[in-house]
Chain A
């Protein structure tokens, strides 16, 4: 089986679904690149080359380059979806979603509900998220909580190449609008990825390792931070379970609750700002439904309540790292030792 990067896995998923289903189209800024100008067509394949090669294979009728018009991209995609196509729209950075919130929140997310279940909106919005790219406050945010909050949207955040391919194929085949967030700092991470098409169901967590002492829940790039912390903790005799929910909506609540019922300790790692976030959501879930199992405080490792700084040293300090996760685990375990001393 070949090793592929997340970038290649996303490209693979788009290619296979476009071959399988002629109603699948791509639309976005620079998804081909060079279109409408005098330059070379397919010069770019997206700003980070994720859609490279698709224009050549599927042509301008199915790989549609647009001007810088986020609201039009999403509006067109939503209209195409309700009239029989399966558009995959690309919004370069999740930070730009603000200009098309009406199309996403008030239109696409509501169609199925407001038309009494008679309308389907099979669209995917792919977008890059996350800090670590020295791209400053307007190109570095982690805004998944905004979409997770809205009923009618599904929110997918792959942490590795195998998941990225299977989740994107699932997203394209799904009949509801799906927000698919690719962390720009992990595009080159490689993994064993089958050449064939496969799907990973939404709402099914990946349990990366199992330990009895603490449950660490993390998504997207933070899964790797959590695993680094878990390895450091294991060297000190503390065994962590690491759970990657893969989708924040729907959320695999059972896997999280079952694990905390066994370990009694929860640490959530989230790159987003801390208020009304994925981290607080998981913390509330466990406090509400598994309070009796808790043997120490729930600890959240998140970014501070601040925009992403541009200064490299400040940006590095902003992003959760393994040392902070390790300290959070030790803090919740220490509370138990105090209580039983």
Chain B
């Protein structure tokens, strides 16, 4: 049987990808989960893994080629399948609907008025509500690899925090409790009473603070490389994020986020530079820095209060995290399930998106 390998759609806004490097040559056997090739999108370079074991017979896309999502990039087939049959398959292949987010392809970001702020968010899918809260300097697009697959079974909502993405570039309440208050007001504004909360880094601390302040509104809590569980943090990353201006410096700083530093491409660095040039961003980031850091340490530590959270709590941490020390995930109270990811840095939702999706699905099911 011939199995097509097609250009994946890794985010709600991804339309095409470029082949950067093949890891497997034609004729080679591959195991499930083996790295097939690197694909560059406008956001990031990522590795496509084999969904099942088999023999890679043909590279259809060459290095440097840019193809739309769903286009054929390679063919897997048993060794006995004749070349002519593969030629015919390649020749007659047509792009069908990219199977992922249940029609979420047409989803456009919306805005909600929260006090005198305008908050931008991307909502896709139907089912129980899942809310994604990004970290310092991030935005909702960072969840793309996780939100897209979850949108087929959940009402997924990723927001841009105040001062970030396409939300207002002001942060009136810059401390963790203040941001949790903005999150509550945002959920009120879009009519979401209760949700599974997924927070990354600073967003993890915000999600935790929200769950403590509004226990009835948190169906479950998932914290990825979260802030708020210890004093220690890579304060240099935050300070450089705000102040680095040259692209080389920005790239060097962003590389600290990943276990595989090659994931930082020029488009990602350029996005960060363009974001930082917007009016109000510098002041917003400095306000967050001022409230979040105390000297070189985190100002807000909620670790002692984790045990109070009534909803199930999942913590996901990359062992190679160079921003928030993974050691802070050890010795957590018994109501917290901790999952460690090998070869993942501070951005497991990017570097280990498939694993994160599987862990989140299991966690949401347990909470339901």
| CB neighbours of A199 from chain B (8 A) | 277, 279
Chain B residues positioned under 8 Å from A200 (CB to CB): 277
- Chain B residues contacting A197 (CB-CB under 8 Å) are 278-279
Mask for B234-262, Cβ within 8 A of A = 1, else 0?
A: 00000000000111000000000000000
Complex CA distance for A210 and B246, rounded to whole angstroms: 15
Nearest-neighbour CB distance to chain A for B343, whole angstroms, equals: 27
B284, chain A: closest CB distance, angstroms: 12
Say if the beta carbon of A174 comes within 8 Å of chain B: no
| Contact status A204-B246, CB under 8 Å | yes
A162 closest partner in B (C-beta):
B274
Asked if A198 is at the interface (CB within 8 A of a chain B CB), the reply is yes
B169, B266, B279, most chain A CB atoms within 10 A = B279
Residues of A within 8 Å of B279, CB to CB, are 196-199
Complex contacts, B245 vs chain A, CB 8 Å = 201, 204
Give every chain A residue within 8 A of B278 (Cβ-Cβ): 194, 196-198
Interface of B is mostly: mixed
Within A129-182, which residues are at the interface with B (CB < 8 Å)? 162, 166
A-facing residues in B210-255 (Cβ within 8 Å): 245-247
Please indicate the chain B residues that have their CB under 8 angstroms from the CB of A210 in the complex.
Answer: 266
CA distance A60 to B266 in the complex (A): 45
Q: List B86-123 residues whose CB lies under 8 Å from chain A.
A: none
Q: Does A207 contact B (CB under 8 A)?
A: yes
CB-defined contacts of B169 to chain A, threshold 8 Å: 196
Please report whether the interface of chain A is mostly helix, strand, loop or mixed according to DSSP.
loop
* Contact A166–B277 (Cβ < 8 Å): yes
Residue of B246, B266, B277 near A198 (CB, 8 A) is B277
B 264-288 to A, binary, CB cutoff 8 A, 1 in contact else 0: 0010000000100111000000000
Cα distance A249–B64 when bound, in Å? Answer: 37
CB distance from B251 to the nearest CB of A (A): 11
- Knowing A196-B169, A197-B279, A198-B279 are in contact, say whether A207-B247 is a contact too (CB < 8 A): yes
Task: Give a binary string over A202-232; 1 marks a CB under 8 Å from any B CB, 0 the rest.
Answer: 0010010010000000000000000000000
| Closest residue of B by beta carbon distance from A166 | B277
In the complex, A196 Cα to B266 Cα: how many Å?
23
Q: Mark B141-172, 1 if CB is under 8 A from A, else 0.
A: 00000000000000000000000000001000
- Give B247's nearest chain A residue, CB to CB: A207
How many positions in chain A have a CB within 8 Å of any CB in the partner chain?
Answer: 12
How far apart are A243's CB and chain B's nearest CB, in angstroms? 12
Q: How far is the CB of B74 from chain A (nearest CB, A)?
A: 24
Q: B residues within 8 A CB of A201?
A: 245
Cα of A182 to Cα of B247 in the assembled complex, Å: 25
Task: Check A198 against B274 for contact (C-beta < 8 Å).
Answer: yes
CA distance A21 to B321 in the complex (A): 44
Q: A90 to B3, alpha carbons, bound, how many Å?
A: 62
Give the CA-CA distance A166 to B247 in the complex, in Å. 17
Contact A194 B274 (CB under 8 A): yes
Determine the residue in chain A with the shortest Cβ distance to B270: A206
Residues of chain A with a CB closer than 8 A to B274's CB:
162, 194, 198
Identity of the chain A residue whose Cβ is nearest the Cβ of B169 in the assembled complex: A196
B274, B277, B279 — most chain A CB neighbours (10 Å): B277
Residues of B within 8 A of A196 (CB): 169, 278-279
Which B residues are CB-close (under 8 A) to A194? 274, 278
How far apart are the CA atoms of A202 and B38 in the complex, in Å?
A: 36
- For B247, list chain A residues within 8 Å (CB): 207
Which residues 36-60 in A have Cβ within 8 Å of B in the complex?
none
A195, closest chain B residue (CB): B166
Per-residue 0/1 for A82-105: is the Cβ within 8 Å of any B Cβ (1 yes, 0 no)? 000000000000000000000000
Shortest CB distance B283–A (Å): 13
Bound CA span A166–B275, Å = 12
Contacts of A198 in B (CB 8 A): 274, 277-279
Nearest B-chain residue to A255, judged by Cβ = B246
A105→B200 CA distance, assembly (Å): 55
Q: What mask results when residues 226 to 242 of chain A are scored 1 for a CB within 8 Å of chain B, else 0?
A: 00000000000000000
Give Cα A243–Cα B359 distance, bound, in whole angstroms: 45
A210 to B247, CA, bound (A): 12
In the complex, which residues of chain B have a beta carbon less than 8 angstroms from the beta carbon of A207?
247
Minimal beta-carbon separation of A135 from chain B (angstroms): 34
User: What does the 1/0 interface line of B315-344 toward A look like (CB < 8 Å)?
Assistant: 000000000000000000000000000000
Q: Which residue on B lies nearest to A252, using beta carbons?
A: B246
Residues in chain B near residue A166, CB distance under 8 A: 277
Q: How far is the CB of A124 from chain B (nearest CB, A)?
A: 18
Name the B residues within 8 Å of A204 (CB-CB): 245-246
**Least Cβ–Cβ distance between A131 and chain B, in angstroms:** 31
A210 to B269, CA, bound (A): 14
**Nearest CB of A to B140, in Å:** 14
- Nearest residue (CB) in B for A207 is B247
Per the bound structure, the CA–CA distance linking A194 and B266 in Å amounts to 19
| B278 (CB) vs chain A CBs: closest residue | A198
A338 to B68, alpha carbons, bound, how many Å?
A: 44
Most buried by B among A166, A196, A201, A204: A196
Measured in the bound complex, the distance between the Cα atoms of B278 and A162 in whole Å is 12
Q: What's the Cα separation between A219 and B274 when bound, in Å?
A: 20
The 10 A-B residue pairs whose C-beta atoms are closest, nearest first, are A198-B277, A197-B279, A198-B278, A196-B278, A199-B277, A166-B277, A200-B277, A198-B279, A196-B279, A194-B278
Instruction: Knowing that A162-B274, A166-B277, A197-B278 touch, tell me 15 more A-B residue pairs with CB under 8 angstroms.
Output: A194-B278, A196-B169, A196-B278, A196-B279, A197-B279, A198-B277, A198-B278, A198-B279, A199-B277, A199-B279, A200-B277, A204-B245, A204-B246, A207-B247, A210-B266
Q: Which residues of B contact A (CB under 8 A)?
A: 169, 245-247, 266, 274, 277-279
Q: Which residues on A are within 8 Å of B, measured CB to CB? A: 162, 166, 194, 196-201, 204, 207, 210
Q: List 21 A-B contacts (CB under 8 A).
A: A162-B274, A166-B277, A194-B274, A194-B278, A196-B169, A196-B278, A196-B279, A197-B278, A197-B279, A198-B274, A198-B277, A198-B278, A198-B279, A199-B277, A199-B279, A200-B277, A201-B245, A204-B245, A204-B246, A207-B247, A210-B266
